Structure 1
């Protein structure tokens, strides 16, 4: 109990992070709060299977997740104090670069417009951690990212288990593997306060949708690309496999 109290004390220094964790961190932090009014409504019939509103939003939100977590991983490589935090940072950069490539591949195939900027809520986390250093950075980095990845895990599973679209299914497979990996490396830092994490995952506050929604890209603006590290270990989707899956399903 004493250790937990010390960690919590570190987390809530000055009340600033208490506000952040209490007011910002919950499933929508990764952009997977329900945006659609009718997520199960089919909006297009494609050669890869029907596409629903919820599945379209899933692709947009996976892209948005990378737009804040990839740069945060780069920040962690520079500012992280412990080896475990630096390793976790490498996983963020590596995993989200591959996921982003997959999103940018399938979005035009499904006529989905991708954002170039994360949501205001997500950008707020980046701003906060940019202003921190030392152990405070490491602790907040591990706890914020463990919480947000934990929040998204069940949503990915639901998309994977219900979609009839082979491209969405493939992206959900990749997202599931990536998020589980990121959950694991955050836990390996030894800095995660599980009581606070579970509390914030299961009792989300309500925020305006404008805070949780990435803005539409500016017309004519070049698409932001999240570059992989020098020696990447994560790989984007194999679209040939998705094409074969569509043919096997009669698409």
Structure 2
């Protein structure tokens, strides 16, 4: 199994040659990143359904839950075919985002949720674009296509809440975190632990934002 940790700092290095095309370190890391994003944004969506103070925030929550449930199924499928080990937990940094939002209440929750997610999804969109244009693996390319639609939809509905602090978003997107690798890397799964599966909300009425259909 191809592990979570980066073996080298050479993203273009080919680490496997399946029938679907050469698999690079960057491809592997992307599949893991998609999975990791869902592992924290999905529970934040569930939290926003309970704590959001406006209909727009709760609508964004529905998109987060169902969008990431669908994307998670795709990432698990691709990982299974490419023998990529997926995490069962988000990175420590991402878990910290969840803890911050769990402590928030009222309109502060709305603002922090929309701003943090908008910033992290903006960064993810840049990664998706890079992978989509460079990968030679058809499964990774297909996942990038789906991820692009899902994350762009999330960005759109987050902006429609009217609670995004764009000054903070710009600051977060244009500066490096300076965190050590272990803080931004999801931990490997515990041996024998069942794989976490993200499921759509019951009676979901989710549909992509009109702007990205």
- The TM-score, its normalising length taken from structure 2, stands at 0.91
2:193 aligns with: 221
1:65 maps to which residue? 37
Task: State how 1:1-251 maps to structure 2 within 5 Å.
Answer: 37-230=9-202, 231=204, 233=206
Partner deviation per Cα, 1:68-101 (whole Å, 9 max, x = no partner): 0001100000010011110011000011000100
CA contact (8 A) 1:44 1:52 kept: yes
Give the structure 2 partner of residue 19 of structure 1: none
- TM-superposed deviation, 1:104: 1.0
Larger Rg: 1
Q: Distance in 2 between matches of 1:35 and 1:189?
A: 40
Deviation at 1:234, TM superposition (A): 6.5
2:211 is aligned to none
How many residue pairs match? The answer is 202
**C-alpha root-mean-square deviation of aligned residues, in Å?**
1.5
5+ residue gaps, structure 1: 1-33, 236-251
The 1:234–1:61 alpha-carbon spacing in structure 2 relative to 1, beyond 3 Å, is farther
Superposed displacement of residue 155, structure 1:
1.1
CA–CA distance in 1 between the matches of 2:7 and 2:71? 21
Contact residue 147 and residue 200 of structure 1 kept, 8 A: yes
Match of 1:15 in 2: none
